[in-house]
A and B are shown apart, each in its own frame.
Chain A
Amino acid sequence: MPGITFSLRLGEPHPHIVTEHQKIHKIVKAAYAEGVNTVIDIVDLTKSFGRTRALDGLDLSVAEGEVHGFVGPNGAGKSTTLRILLGLLRADGGKATMLGQDPWRDVADLHRRIAYVPGDVNLWPNLTGGEVIDMLGRMRGGISPQRRAEMLERFDLDPTKKARTYSKGNRQKVALVAALASDAELLLLDEPTSGLDPLMERLFRDEVVSVAAQGRTVLLSSHILSEVEALADRISIIRAGRVVETGPLAEMRHLHNTRVRAELARPVQPGALHAVEDLVVDGAQVSFSVDDVHLDEVVAALSSHGIRSLTSEPVSLEELFLSAYGTDAATGLHAPQGTQDPRGTHAAHTPTGAPDDAEPKRALR
């Protein structure tokens, strides 16, 4: 649905507007363009550390201008993949291409065109934040002073303090400012907001959106699924060194159910709602998941009980994520790639986190 997403910096008079329309335009354009550029193209990548197999035939494809979410459990291989792309590690097998070049061989050329925010930012204790930002900027080939000043102000970072006095969040801000102030074609972000407060995280999201609007590409690896959901055009879920699902969130959702919560005027009759899964009845409140095919008849059944309030949500990324791992961990199954119907595994799945408690996802879409 076309809509408008606002984000306001508190106290500031001018809003920062990116329309949904622009986003859709970009996707459509990308879909119809001949020879859409793949900025990152990884095929069958393998990497082992001793006996541990970190990457086991990983495939990843990131198109130009998109924000690509990269999610997976701890130890799945996200950081390893990023390190291989950065030329810090050498893959054992498979092929990786970034911006048309080889990440291991063409390091210097390539790194002029990218910016990286590491998962764990360690700075030199005696340098100030400003010195680090300038240094990293120069090492990349240049940094725009206005952007730098703008970023410093937006993220509320004091560049004159020595790095050893920064808290974890501030250290992260240094790396973020250094990356966002650059004009790199590709941003590789590894859990960039893990230490930031919600306000700063919101600012970060705005920045990523504006970066993407300029046609630049972002690979965002994160555990904060709401963030990935809000920002990413396409998502890859990695598990045990392989990508198990990839595609636009909308497509992945399509394969799953809708979560519905309703408050009814009259308590639900037993057996009235039979096409649903995970039914939880709490007095007048009901919640369940339903396949879109049956949505009509279920809503009709609810309506016959008198609906006081109704909330429906597409399955969250968290649920998708958990369904790819949840009980599969015990059975050893994993959801196959692409469009295969995971309903078999989904039926057995009970969301472990309480989705009702998760933040409302309707707000920004």
Chain B
Amino acid sequence: MNGFGHLVRLAWRRDRWMVLATLVLAWLLTYYSAVATIDLYPDVASRVASAKLSNGLSSVIMAYGRVYDPQSVAGLGGIKLQMIDFMILTFLAIAVVRRHTRSDEETGRFELLGAGVVGHRAPLAAAFGFASLASLVGGIGIGATAGLGGLPWTGSWLMGAASAGTGIAFAAVTAVAMQLSASSRVGSGYAYGTLAVTYVLRLVGDVREGVGGEFLRWLSPLGWGQQVRAWNGDRSWVLWLFLGFAALGYVAADRLRAGRDMGVGIFPDRSGPDHGSIGSSYGLAWRLHRGGVIGWMVVGVLLGMVAGALIGAVGGFMNEAAEQMLRQIGGTGIADELFVSIYAGIAALAATAYGISAVLRTREEETAGHAEAILATAETRWRFLSSHLLYGFAGSAAFLVAMGAAEMLVWTPGPDSTVTAVEAFTTSVVQIPSTWVVIALAVAVVGLLPRLSWLGWALFIGFILLGELGQLLSLPTWLQDLSPYAHTPKVPAEPFELAPVLTMVVLALVLAAVGSLAYRRRDLSV
């Protein structure tokens, strides 16, 4: 396989900062979470109590899974940490494989490389190899930092291995997705979609433990990672599943690659219409965004339906200690209120992710040279920009509304439920202002600092981390308050407050205005 080594070195050269930054982030998170978790539950009794509580709450199980060994040092903190680490490595693996397979084909870099002494298999192998290597290194670092943080070493190394395993598994998934899809964008859609599906499978499997349906989590790499039960039973045999899956996935991707030409997917291109109906930036934006918007609406409705249907499984009141513990992971209120608010909080993150990607499309259009073609016509900068901002803001809001509506319509509460269907809807909708603030920040970045457009995502991730780990790491309040998500009214547990909502909407408008004005005044770079 000629050229494999060169291509891996090339991949490293191109992505070294991205990979390093992500891995160091994961390692720091792991270390500090480990330290904090140990502090939180200093003795066996407190650990057992917290484990029992978290296992009794469907909302926690849904988000992170079960604690299998109540006496384990890691407990709830451990399973939360592991889910975060899995996600980080998975996102990294997907991004890396995408960049070095389809994206390279589409930009013509492959052509340049392929004219050299590079074997047919080498590019895919190099992309997969590099992603796997990054996952492995990440996993080793995670294991080391967890152990250094004070958690038991066996469990730590297993957690590291499981994290590496999920990364490698999704590298394989992405490799296959990239062969099947018509473009790298669509392919990454498949990959992230698969990730979402595996998360849901794991979620359902965990909730349905003991009542049938448990097997579902064995269909999901995230499920396997969890079933390694780091610090909770330490089952290392599960790691073989990762190996088998990744090997199969790679072979499948390679076979598919052999069957297609460079630059196209397995399914041949059909011809299209010879006359177009697009007449303006808005029409073009619809064509560009419609796949994403429709897909996200469907996801929103499905998420709402899952929530509405599962609410009945959430039950029970809690005592002071339980409430205390659960506030530490960011929820407010009692059982099903907690569930609804945590669920809405996660949905807010998903909506923000969609919104940011829609807004950053503006920058992508600019670097791809498309913006130049449009702005050379009579379309103004504002029309061009606003056509994409529309999808960012309206799309994210519509996602939350759709989810809330689906939740409301499918609402099947248990006998002790204190949350009404309408409250479920409003909890979802009240997330909109905070998502808009983060999206508006991305707009400001596109306008003011276009070369640093990755900041839009970096800020988003920063806010997530503040939220997830702020309480755990006892970060100062002012720091945690930097995150817009911290200011969303905690309905239904607490009463609705207009002030933070209004402030955030105004702030979002101001940020978006600043970004738009800056966009109109700056040079269009290519």
Chain A interface residues toward B at CB < 8 A: 83, 86-90, 107-109, 111-112, 114, 116, 118, 120-128, 130-136, 138-141, 158-162, 164-165, 175, 188
Contact = CB atoms under 8 A, between A and B. Distances in A.
Nearest to B384: A139
Given A88-B372, A111-B376, A165-B269, A139 B279 contact: yes
Given A116-B376, A139-B379, A164 B269 contact: yes
A313 B274 CA distance: 47
B279 A159 contact: no
Given A140-B378, A141-B378, A161-B271, A130 B276 contact: yes
Given A139-B280, A139-B379, A160 B273 contact: yes
A267 to B, nearest CB: 49
B380 A108 contact: yes
B83 interface: no
A130 to B, nearest CB: 4
Interface in B276-290: 276-281, 283-284, 287-288
Contacts of B119: none
B374 interface: yes
Contacts of A107: 375, 378, 380-381
25 contacts: A88-B375, A88-B524, A89-B523, A90-B523, A107-B378, A108-B378, A108-B380, A111-B377, A111-B379, A114-B376, A116-B376, A118-B369, A118-B376, A122-B373, A125-B106, A126-B182, A127-B287, A130-B272, A130-B276, A131-B273, A134-B276, A135-B276, A158-B271, A164-B183, A175-B373
A130 B370 contact: no
Contact of B275 (A125, A131, A141): A131
A86 B380 CA distance: 11
A128 B378 contact: no
A135 B283 contact: yes
B492 to A, nearest CB: 43
Contacts of A188: 376
Interface of B: 106, 182-183, 263, 269, 271-281, 283-284, 287-288, 368-370, 372-381, 521-524
A86 B376 contact: yes
A120 B271 contact: no
Given A88-B523, A139-B374, A131 B276 contact: yes
B279 to A, nearest CB: 4
A135 B284 contact: yes
Contacts of A89: 523-524
B271 A139 contact: no
Given A131-B275, A164-B269, A122 B377 contact: no
Mostly, the B contact residues are loop
Nearest to A111: B378
Contact of A128 (B273, B380, B522): B273
A21 to B, nearest CB: 35
Nearest to A49: B523
A162 B269 contact: yes
A139 B263 CA distance: 30
B356 to A, nearest CB: 21
B287 A126 contact: yes
B370 A122 contact: yes
Contacts of B380: 107-108
Report which residue of B182, B271, B376, B524 has the largest number of chain A beta carbons within 10 angstroms of its beta carbon: B376
Contacts of B369: 118, 120-122
The 7 closest A-B pairs by CB, nearest first: A131-B276, A122-B369, A139-B377, A128-B272, A130-B274, A116-B376, A134-B276
Nearest to B522: A90
Given A89-B523, A107-B380, A138 B275 contact: no
Contacts of B378: 107-109, 111-112, 139-141
Contacts of A131: 272-273, 275-278
Given A86-B376, A122-B369, A135 B278 contact: yes
A186 B263 CA distance: 37
Given A88-B375, A116-B376, A164 B263 contact: yes
B272 A162 contact: yes
A127 B276 contact: yes
A141 B523 CA distance: 25
A144 to B, nearest CB: 14
A128 B288 contact: no
Contacts of B183: 125-126, 164
Nearest to A87: B375
A264 B475 CA distance: 95
Report which residue of B274, B377, B379 has the largest number of chain A beta carbons within 10 angstroms of its beta carbon: B377
Report which residue of B271, B275, B378 has the largest number of chain A beta carbons within 10 angstroms of its beta carbon: B378
A160 B280 contact: no
B274 A159 contact: yes
A118 B379 CA distance: 16
A124 B370 contact: yes
Given A112-B378, A136-B377, A128 B372 contact: no
Nearest to A179: B376
A28 B41 CA distance: 94
A159 to B, nearest CB: 4
A88 B275 CA distance: 28
A131 B277 CA distance: 7
